[in-house]
Amino acid sequence: MKDGVNGVALGVFIFFFLAVTVMGFLAARWRKAESEASLDEWGLGGRSFGTWITWFLLGGDLYTAYTFVAVPAAIYAAGAAGFFAVPYTILVYPLIFTFLPRLWSVSHRHGYVTTSDFVRGRFGSKGLSLAVAVTGILATMPYIALQLVGIQAVLDVMGIGGGTDSNWFVKDLPLLIAFGVLAAYTYSSGLRAPALIAFVKDALIYIVIAVAIIYIPIKLGGFDDIFSAANDKFTKAGAGAIVSPPAAQWTYATLALGSALALFMYPHSITATLSSKSREVIRRNTTILPLYSLMLGLLALLGFMAIKSGVDVTNPQLAIPQLFEDMFPSWFAGVAFAAIGIGALVPAAIMSIAAANLFTRNIYKDFIKPDATPEQETKVSKLVSLLVKVGALVFVLTMDKTVAINFQLLGGIWILQTFPALVGGLFTRWFHRWALLAGWATGMIYGTIAAYDVASPTNPGQKHFGGSNAEIPGIGEIGYIGLTAFVLNVLVTVVLTFVLKALKAPEGVDETNPRDYTADAGDPGVEVELPPATAGASH
């Protein structure tokens, strides 16, 4: 690791950071509507984005700075097991091709802004809607924190921030500045800011990956030497060489499948989706987004390159930033650091907007102020987006970074439990609302307890929340806790639905109809406006 501040890299980083900051504030005027006083405008960009804007926005949203840092870091630390992120991002696109267009159509017809809006309208249950909203907010908070962790990792490698400075304010000042800028332009421009910045972010990432995958192997003697060095490392460590041992393969498979099911349950994924102007935009994006999976596969190889280059860090999250500083000229290292830093700003902005929309629509409007006007909703959502980012910043500055990572893993377990209500509701009204709520509670409780009992394999002092894999009851194999909790969730939901229907338990009012799920923006039809008593049916 180089001593002192890398002035050239820092200068390039600041240049790009200032450029996207200006873009973030100018985005308030981009595609500006006559009235900005609604969540459709501030929180969904006016639902007006076409194929390419949506592609960049979804790519910027899903492939975050944490992805850029953590996926190759997992390869660096654990070998091929870290590649689970590649198959799950391949599995997810055929999956979302089947349900995201339906969600877009029904949300367009009824003006839904969040998944909880849909769940409330479909099942007539504020209780179930609240459960989905709270889960979304809880799962998103540590995810935002991890974007700030990504920025902090880059700042540490460049020689600013972090460190051992006794003055905490000086130590964390760069991160505070980045946070302040992010908060300001998100408040001002809403979803338009990350949509515009995503163009720069994705262009930088593709450039860095293209250069890295060619330039670094040439300097290291080729891929044969790179894979040999990685194989030697994991063989000596008793980790089953470069390929995971058979005992770990069930873990790999369940983690990939569970992660694929969970990815588009996150509120920020849905927010980016609902900003599209038609269902055909969504369908086209599911066919071209796999290009990011190709990029992710190449990105993962950087973990092996870090091993071959001799990168030696106690925190694997620093491995790739350190690899860039060691291998690239200072000016291009600055470009790479800017790609990671901007790669944190885009998803952090979308995540904070998504969490704020959930609070505003499904907690504030449903339970605190049912007669809130669109202007009041927008104002509350803007304020909450600031509070969410403040909470994430406090989380990063006061807690150990491994805690943030483990809570994000817990968030994945939680968010998967909303799958039956959301995806199930898009295809059938058969599930009973109380059964869905009981299934959600079962999955949440089991998943949380099981994750609590997992000790960290790398930190003996951490006895709880040390990972997201545990023994599957009745099978004996180690698997992804979220998928086990999901299976329990579905079983409880199905059994209780039979019971409640047999008992003729009251079902909520469904405010949707079959044609709502297949209509495009230009199709004829009546926009549904229900009276408050129907739209807010109690649980």
**Residue 255 in domain:** yes
When the pLDDT of each residue in the chain is averaged and rounded to a whole number, the result is 85
pLDDT digits (tens, 9 = 90+) for 515-534: 999 887 656 544 444 433 33
- In this structure, of 191-200, 209-218, 456-465, the range with the lowest mean pLDDT score is 456-465
pLDDT number for residue 521:
63
Report which secondary-structure segment, H or E, holds 469: strand 469-471
103/196 Cα distance (integer angstroms): 24
> What mean pLDDT is predicted for residues 194-206?
88
**Residue written as token pair 């230009």:** 522
- In this structure, of 50-54, 248-252, 271-275, the range with the lowest mean pLDDT score is 248-252
**Residue 280 in domain:** yes
CB–CB of 185/21 below 8 Å? yes
Sign of the CA dihedral running 391, 70, 270, 428: negative
What is the distance, to the nearest Å, from the Cα of residue 454 to the centroid of all Cα atoms in its chain? 23
Tokens of 173: 């000042």
Q: Is the pLDDT of residue 416 over 80?
A: yes
Q: Is the pLDDT of residue 71 over 90?
A: no
pLDDT number for residue 490:
97
Q: At what angle do helices 401-416 and 126-158 cross, to 10 degrees?
A: 150
| 498-502, Cβ contacts within 8 angstroms, sequence gap of 24 or more | 499/435, 500/432, 500/434, 500/435, 501/432
CATH of residue 100 = 1.20.1730.10
pLDDT number for residue 35:
55
Coil, strand or helix at 376: helix
Overall number of domains in the chain: 1
pLDDT digits (tens, 9 = 90+) for 108-143: 999 999 999 999 999 999 999 999 999 999 999 888
Q: Residue 480 carries which side chain, given as an amino acid letter? A: Y
**Residue 10 in domain:** no
Tokens of 478: 């180690």
Highest mean pLDDT among 167-176, 255-264, 292-301, 491-500: 491-500
**Residue 230 in domain:** yes
- In this structure, of 105-114, 207-216, 241-250, the range with the lowest mean pLDDT score is 241-250
**Residue 343 in domain:** yes
- Least Cα distance to 137 among 271, 46, 275 occurs for 271
**Residue 446 in domain:** no
pLDDT number for residue 37:
67
pTM: 0.89
HEC profile of 149-181: HHHHHHHHHHCCCCCCCCCHHHHHHHHHHHHHH
**Residue 380 in domain:** yes
pLDDT digits (tens, 9 = 90+) for 305-322: 999 998 888 778 888 888
494/435 Cα distance (integer angstroms): 7
Percent of all residues in the chain with a pLDDT value above 90, rounded to a whole number: 41
Tokens of 329: 């000229």
Could you tell me which residues are beta bridge partners of residue 478?
471
**Residue 9 in domain:** no
> What mean pLDDT is predicted for residues 350-377?
93
- Least Cα distance to 489 among 431, 444, 536, 424 occurs for 444
pLDDT number for residue 175:
77
214/222 Cα distance (integer angstroms): 9
38 vs 125, residue with greater confidence: 125
Tokens of 135: 């889960």
pLDDT number for residue 528:
42
Domain of 391, in residue numbers: 48-401
Tally Cβ neighbours within 10 Å of residue 17: 18
Q: What is the DSSP string of 416-460?
A: HTTHIIIIIHHH-S-S-HHHHHHHHHHHHHHHHHHHHTPPPSS-T
pLDDT number for residue 292:
86
- In this structure, of 200-214, 237-251, 352-366, 468-482, the range with the lowest mean pLDDT score is 237-251
